[in-house]
Structures are given as C-alpha cells and as structure tokens.
Structure 1
Amino acid sequence: MRRLASAPIFSLGFRPFFLAGSGFAAIAVAVWAVWLYGRLPGAQPVGGMLSWHRHEMPFGFAAAIIAGFLLTAVPNWTGRPGLNGWPLIGLLLVWLAARLAWLLPIPAVALIALQIPFLPLLAWVLGRDLVAAGKRDNYPILLVVALLATTQAMTLWGISPDDVGLQRNGVLAAVWLIGALMTVIGGRVIPFFIQRGLNRPAAKPAHPLPTRILLASSLLSAVAFAGGFNDVPRVWLAALFLLIGGLHLLRLWRWHDRGIWRVPLLWSLYLAYFWLAVATLAMALWHLGVLPQQSLATHSLAVGGIGGLILAMIARVSLGHTGRLLQPSKAIVVGFFLLLMASVCRVLLVPFSGSGLALSALFWCAAFALFLVCYSGILFKPRV
C-alpha cells in the first residue's frame, strides 16, 4: 500500500486526473454517440441518457482536468506542497465513485450523494493553500470552482423530468463558467507560452481593466444562464456577448505572432482560444435572431473552446512538469488536428448533415485516445 501511494502517478495532481479525464472523455462521448444512433439498447441511468451526458461532460470530464491543472498550479503559485499520495488517491476515488454511480441501480438520492462531494473537496484543498499563502489574486479561480459546485447542485436537482428546465440552466451555466475559467487561465498562460516558446522578449504588461471586464462579463453570462434568461433572445444579452467576444478578439490580436504557426503546442492553444470568441459571438447572433440554434454556440464553446484548450494544455503541462522537452510527438499533433475537425463538424456540419454528430464524436474520441497512447507512459514514469 505504501508503494502505491509513493508511485510517480500519485506524486502530483495532473498525473492521475489528466489520465482519468482524457480516458473518460473518449469513453463518455463514444457511449453518447452510440446511444444517439440507436445502437445502445437496455436500461438507462437515472434521469435518462440526456441527463447523464449533460452532467458528465462538465462535471466528470472537465472537472477532472480542472482538478489536475489546479492541483499542480496552486503549489507553484503558493510554494506549498501539492496534494500527493493517499490524499490524492482519495480525491481521485471520490471522482471515480461519482462516475461509476451512474451505472448502478441506485435511487436518485444515492446518486446525488455520490456526485456532490468532489468539487467542494477540491475547492477546500485549493482554498486552504491560497488563503494560507495570501494569494488573493487567485481567489477568482476559487470562486469559479465554488460556483461550479452550485451549478452542479442545480443540475442534479433537475434530474427529475419535472425540473428539466432547471437541469438545462445548471448545465449551461456550468459550461460558461468553465469558459470563464479558461478565460482566466488562458489569459495567464497563453501569452507566456508564446513568449517563452518563440524566445521573444517579455511584452509590456497589458492594462488590467479589459481583463477584469472580461472576467466579470463572463461570470455574468454564466449567471444569466443559471437564471434562465437565455431561454428567449434578449437584446441586452446580445450586447453582453458582443462585448465578451470583442474582448476575446482583442486578446487574440495582441497575442498573435507569426511564429506560433510553426509550433503545434502554440497554434493548438491559440486556435482553441479562438473558439471562445466564436462561441460568444455566436450567442450574440442567437440573441439577435440571426443564428437558428443556440446549441451551435454552446458546442462551439464545449467542443472547440473547452475541449481544444484542454487537449492542448494537458499535452504541454504533462511534458513540462515531467521534465521533458516541449516537443510533442507527431501523433498528438494529429490529435490537435482531429479535435479541431471535431469542432468544425459539430458546429458547421451538423445543421446540414446527420453524419456531423458521428464524425464529430469519432474525431473527439480519436484525439483523446491519442493523448492516452502518447502520454500514459510519461505520466506513469518519474520526472526526468
């Protein structure tokens, strides 16, 4: 047992959670696609397959990657030891129990009881270190994790067919909260990665006001989803999403360097962040009555933005934090391309062809399967 706790895989949070999250991403989307095309007969989980899919993508897949990233980043920010050994194993088991609970024939109350603990535990672990180190500039990240826990409670309360609207509001709020978190993290690391990756001189710090407006606006958009204000088009929300999209484009313009297109670990991040701008501008178009389906904007964020940023980020972080050269294999570069194609198929092909969903799911699953193939050996082995 002592040997298990001291294994390299449990030395820091990114190792087990990146593996678990990416593996779950491939499995969960494959199951969802097979069910959508009528190839998965038999009993359904509590609330049905739609409830399962809605809950598990933000609170199973994305939450695992967020946990892995923050459990690795917070020790760097605070100088305090990261979660490892049995405490890390325990947190991973809490996450795993929540995933397996959907497969068990248990009442809804028991299912909810197994889902709830993970995010509050994660917030407590992160908050303990941030408060002890006095890192107040990172408190917004802690706030987003706490708000995610709140939206999860809304989603779980809406498992009942009578509260399906509450479930939808909770899930959409969670997706846009994750988008807000990606805005914060991306705004910190992408320009830094570009500067370091291309050996450019450090840029003059940008004025903090646009960043603060972007974060506040992103959080407000998530609150609007939680409150059900996105059920019908509203002009004031169109203005809000236009503001967010414009600030995203301003960031992309400031970050751009022609050299990024030669470096896969940079263009993958840059293009994924571009999908955040696409998603917010698409929401503005829906509120203006131009875009026919709100789900196209949502999946621009979920597949292109969140999925793309996650794959690009875990590919780079896994190399950097295991002491390896920042030179991804050709296979994971193919994975970046496949995830980009998954985004294009889900957003641009689905309105015109029934094969769009199948192709998008296939490309998504292949991309995360390639991550597992390329990185499992790295994450299980000690730091170089």
Structure 2
Amino acid sequence: MRKLAALPLFSLGFRPFFLAGATFAALAIAIWALWLYGRLPGAQPVGGMLAWHRHEMPFGFAVAIIAGFLLTAVPNWTGRPGLRGWWLIGLVAVWLLARLAWLLPVSPVLLLLLQIPFLPLLAWFLGRDLVAAGKRDNYPILLMITLLAGCQALTLWGLWIDDVGLQRRGVLAALWLVAALMSVIGGRVIPFFIQRGLNRPAVPAANPWPTRVLMVSGLFVALTFALGLHDVPRLWLGAVFVLMSALHLFRLWRWHDRGMWRVPLLWSLYLSYVWLVVAVFAMALWHAGLMSQQSLATHSLAVGGIGGLVLAMIARVSLGHTGRPLLPSRAIVVGFGLVLLAGLLRVFLVPFSGFGLGASALLWCLAFGVFLARYTGVLVGPRV
C-alpha cells in the first residue's frame, strides 16, 4: 500500500486530476453524443441523460481540471507542500465515486450524497494553505470554489425536487463562475506565459482595475443566472455583458504579440480566451434581442472557451511540472485545433444542421483522446 501512495501519479495534484478529467471529458461527450443519436439504449441515470450531462460537464470535468491546477498552483504561491500521497488519493476517490454513482444502480439519496463532498473538501485543502501563508490576494479564487459548491447544491436540489428550471439555473451559474475563474487565472498566466515563451522583457504591472471589474462582474453574472434573471432578455443585463466584452477585448489587445502565432502553447491559450469574448458578446446580443438561442452563447463558453483553455493549459502545465521542455508534439497541436474547431461547429453549424452536434462531439473526443495518448505516460511517470 505504501508503494501506491509513493507513485509519481500521486506526487502532485495536477497528475491524477488532469488524467482523470481528460479521460472523463472524452468518455462523457462520447456517451452524450451516442445517446443523442439513439445509439445508447438502456436505463437512464437519475433525472435522465440531460440532467446527467448538465451536471457532469461543469461538476465532473471542469471541476477536476480546476482541482488539478489549483492543487499545483497553490503550493507555488504559498511555499507550502502540496497535497500528495494518501490525502491526494482520497480526494481523487471522492471525485471518482461521484462520477460512478451516476452509472451504477444506487438510490437517488446516495447519488446526491456522493456528489456533495468534493468541492467543500477542495476548498478546505486550498483555504488551509492560503490562510496559513496569508495570501489574501488569492482569497477570491477560494471564494469562487465555495460558490461553485453552492451552484452544485442548487443543481442537486433541482434534481431532487424534479425542477428542471432550478437545475438549469445552478448549472449556468456554475459555467459563468468557471468563466470568472478563467478570467482571473487567465489574466495572470497568459501574459506571463507569452512574456516567458517569447523571451520578452518584463512589462510593468497592468492597472488592476480592469481585472477587478471583470472579476466582480463575472461573480455578478453568475449570481444573476442563479437567480433566474436570464429567462427573458433584459437590456440592463446586456449592458453588463457589453462592458465585460470591452474589458476582455482590451486584455487581448494588450497581450497580443505577433511572435506567439509561432508557438502552439501560446496561440492555443490566446484563441481559447477569444472564445470567452465570443460567449460574453453573444449573451449581450441575446439580451438585446438580436440572437434567438441563448444556448449558442453557453456552448461558446463551454466548448470553445473552457474546452480549449483546459486542453492548452493541461498540456503546458503537464510538461512544465514534469521537467520536460515546453515543446508539444505535433499530435497535441492538432488536438488544440480540433477542440477549437469543435467549438466552431457547435456554435455556427448546429443552428443549420443536426450534423454539427455529432461532428463537434467527435472532434472534442479526438482532441482529448490525443492528449491521453501523448500525456498519460508523462502524468504517471517520474519527473525528468
């Protein structure tokens, strides 16, 4: 048993959670697509396949990647040892049991109970180190993890009382909280990665107010989704999204460097952040009555934004934290393109053809399948 805890896989949080999150990303979308096209007969999980899909993509896939990233980043920020060994194995087991519960013949009560512990435990482990190190500037990230737990509770409550509207509110609030987290973390790491990746001189710190406004507006937007204020178009909410669009575009303009288009680990991050701008602007259009389907904005964020940023980030972090050169293989560069193309098909082709759903799902699964093929050995093996 000691040998299990001592494996490289459980030496730092990014290893098991990136591997588990990427595997689940490919499997979950494959299952969802097969069911949509009538190729997956049999019993459905509690609440039906739509409830499963809605819950598992933010609270299964996205949360696993967030956990892996933060359990690796917080030790760097605080100088404290990261979660490892049996404590890390236990946290992974809590996540895994929650995923399996949907697929096993368990009672609805047990299913819901198994979903609850992961995010509070993650918040506890992160908060313990941040508070001990006095890293108050990182407390907003801890707040977002706590709020994600609240969104999950809202979603599960909707599932328990069979209220589809409540489930949808919890899931959409969670997605836009993840967008706020993308904004905070992306605002730190993307310009830093561009500067380091291109050997540019350090630039003076940016004015903090745009970042603060984006963080506060992102939390506010998530709250409005939780309250159900996006059931009908509202011009004042459209104005909030216009402001966010402008600030995100300002960021992209400030970060841009022509040299990054020669570096896949940079343009993949940059273009994924562009998808976040597309999602925010699409919400502004919907609230102005200029776009008919709010789901197009949602999937701009979920597929192109979150999916693209996750794949680019886990590819880079996995190389850097295992001591390998930051030179991705050609296959994973193709993977970056596949997930971004999956976003394009899901948003721009689906309104005109049902073929777009299947094609987008296939490209998504291929992208994360490429990651697993190239990075499983990196994540389970020792540091170089």
Hey, what's the Cα distance between the residues in 1 that align with 2:97 and 2:322?
Answer: 28
Code of the aligned partner of 1:346: R
CA distance in 2, matches of 1:178, 1:90: 24
Deviation at 1:104, TM superposition (A): 1.7
In 2, Cα distance between the equivalents of 1:103 and 1:316?
A: 32
CA distance in 2, matches of 1:12, 1:296: 36
Q: Does 1:31 align with 2:34?
A: no
Deviations 1:121-170 (A, max 9, x none): 00000000000000000000000000000000011111147411100000
Which residue matches 2:182?
Answer: 182
| 2:359 corresponding residue in structure 1 | 359
| Equivalent in the alignment of 2:242 | 242
Alignment partner, residue 205 of structure 2: 205
Alpha carbons 1:47, 1:161 under 8 Å: kept: no
**What code does the residue aligned with 1:266 have?**
L
Tell me if structure 1 keeps the 8 A contact 2:272–2:309. yes
1:287-306 mapped onto 2 (5 Å cutoff): 287-306=287-306
Q: Aligned equivalents of 1:14 and 1:195: distance in 2?
A: 23
Distance between the aligned counterparts of 1:200 and 1:162, measured in 2? 54
Aligned to 1:225: 225
1:263 maps to what in 2?
263
Name 1:326's counterpart in structure 2: 326
Give the TM-score normalised by the residue count of structure 2: 0.99
CA distance in 1, matches of 2:202, 2:357: 42
Which whole-Å deviations, capped at 9, do the CAs of 1:228-283 have from their partners, x for residues lacking one?
00000001100001111111100000000000100000000000000000000000
Query: Equivalents in 2 of 1:233, 1:27: separation in Å?
Result: 35
Superposed CA deviations along residues 299-345 of structure 1, whole A, max 9, x for unmatched, are: 00001111100000000000000000000000000000000110000
Q: 2:178 and 2:234 mapped to 1: Cα distance?
A: 23
Task: Map 1:1-384 to 2 at 5 A.
Answer: 1-160=1-160, 162-384=162-384
Q: Distance in 1 between matches of 2:195 and 2:106?
A: 51
Output the aligned Cα RMSD: 0.6
User: 2:199 aligns to what SS in structure 1?
Assistant: coil
Q: Secondary structure at the match of 2:159?
A: coil
TM-score (norm 1): 0.99
Matched AA of 1:281? F
User: Do 1:12 and 1:72's aligned partners in 2 also have CA atoms closer than 8 Å?
Assistant: yes
Identity %: 75
Q: Give the letter for the 1:233 counterpart.
A: P
Contact 1:322 1:383 in 2 (8 A): yes
Secondary structure of 1:44's aligned partner: coil
CA distance in 2 between partners of 1:181 and 1:244 (Å): 14
Tell me, in whole angstroms, the C-alpha distance in 2 between the residues paired with 1:100 and 1:113.
Answer: 13
What is the letter of the counterpart of residue 284 of structure 1?
A
Q: Which runs of 5+ in 1 are unaligned?
A: none
What is the SS of the residue equivalent to 1:40?
coil
The aligned length equals: 384
Distance 1:281 1:135 in 2: 33
Q: What CA distance in whole angstroms lies between the structure 2 residues aligned with 1:230 and 1:107?
A: 33
Q: Does the 8 A contact of 2:47 with 2:162 survive in 1? A: no
